[in-house]
Structure 1
């Protein structure tokens, strides 16, 4: 069946979702996330887009982006090709990293723009990776309340008020609200089989056998357990396959 064309945004603003192929982890280490953010920044001048939000999760990415000089498809190909080339070289792999077609939805008014912004920033909370939104290192939330680096914060903050300090406070309060926004998401409700889970555990934790996870140093183990949960494994499944106590998995 032929693919349908993407809906064109009159505003030029899109909410974009990229996911790893076959639930592939996109960010194994902090260096990977740093490189992806550097790639986003490098192509801002070349492609002439504005970035309003991002959130890098274990096996997927949310972006809120406005196309200007180049159209969305070209922008995403540039960013994707550059990062995948670097990633494959680092991990001595070849082939695709991202699912072949990213998802996108148009954002045509300020109300939905802010809804998507909050939805993106609250992703780590919903995944139970952090208890406070400000504690997540790989989203654009802190660029709004501290220093902006790759985000065009002025455009969004002006929607909260003319005086920047007050606008930032309103921005924070807005993000404390819990809403059920209906935005595009990975929709991964399919249960991951034990055989798939075993391979994921070996890859993410860099072990030969799942039970070896018990012997990993505590801080590194917690990082691995957190990443496994983020990639769709249940607490019960991780505990059963690795022998790590359920309470430890829950706390990670």
Structure 2
């Protein structure tokens, strides 16, 4: 049976998800997270600036990426990223077979509201999974770069931050994201 082609066109922003096979962990230790991020950087470099990472979060058994494409199809990026990371993981843990549950999920982000909502959703994933109380406490997310706790690396924040007033835009973004955290009552 053939698979349905993904909806894609040039210069589109996408919300990408990928999950471990049978919901198993993709990351077992700190080295795994670091290798995934360095693999992400490597693939960005090798695809000649055809993709920008807008936001990301690496959860223990899945990944969310917000990606701006240019002229190259997203499958070129994700295929290479998932393949390289799976080879690393399978080699490290002496596994054979599929690391990822299925092909990655992709959704086109079609309007400005969804651009912001996808970023907020991604950055709040660890909070909603009860891994941390505040998104800046989670190390494997781009959120800390958005609010200037750590220097920017791998991501392009300008697209998201341009929606906020130029003075204090990082603070306004922080308030926007954290306004969706429901208080425990």
Q: Deviation per CA, 1:15-36, whole angstroms, max 9, x where unpaired?
A: 0110001112100001000100
Counterpart of 1:82 in structure 2 is 84
Counterpart of 1:4 in structure 2 is 4
The structure with more helix, counted as a fraction of residues: 1
Structure 2 segments unaligned to the other structure (5+ residues):
none
Match of 2:128 among 123, 126, 129: 126
Match of 1:101 among 100, 103, 114: 103
Q: Deviation per CA, 1:16-75, whole angstroms, max 9, x where unpaired?
A: 110001112100001000100111111112222100011111111100001124210111
Larger Rg: 1
Q: Where does 1:133-148 land on structure 2 (aligned, <5 Å)?
A: 133-146=135-148, 147-148=151-152
Q: Deviation per CA, 1:82-103, whole angstroms, max 9, x where unpaired?
A: 1111111111111110122111
In the alignment of these two chains, the number of paired residues is: 178
The structure with more strand, counted as a fraction of residues: 2
Q: Where does 1:109-124 land on structure 2 (aligned, <5 Å)?
A: 109-124=111-126
Partner Cα distance (1:65, 1:111) in 2: 16
Counterpart of 2:159 in structure 1 is 155
1:46 aligns with 2:43: no
Identify which of structures 1 and 2 has the higher relative contact order when contacts are C-alpha pairs closer than 8 Å and 6+ apart: 2
Partner Cα distance (1:43, 1:101) in 2: 18
Q: What is the DSSP-based 3-state SS (H/G/I as helix, E as strand, rest coil) of the residue aligned with 2:72?
A: coil
Structure 1 segments unaligned to the other structure (5+ residues):
181-252
Partner Cα distance (1:8, 1:68) in 2: 11
Counterpart of 2:29 in structure 1 is 29
Are the aligned partners of 1:11 and 1:107 in contact in 2 as well (CA < 8 Å)?
Answer: no
Q: Where does 1:166-185 land on structure 2 (aligned, <5 Å)?
A: 166-178=168-180
Are the aligned partners of 2:10 and 2:70 in contact in 1 as well (CA < 8 Å)?
Answer: no
Are the aligned partners of 2:53 and 2:66 in contact in 1 as well (CA < 8 Å)?
Answer: yes
Are the aligned partners of 2:11 and 2:70 in contact in 1 as well (CA < 8 Å)?
Answer: no
Partner Cα distance (2:126, 2:178) in 1: 13
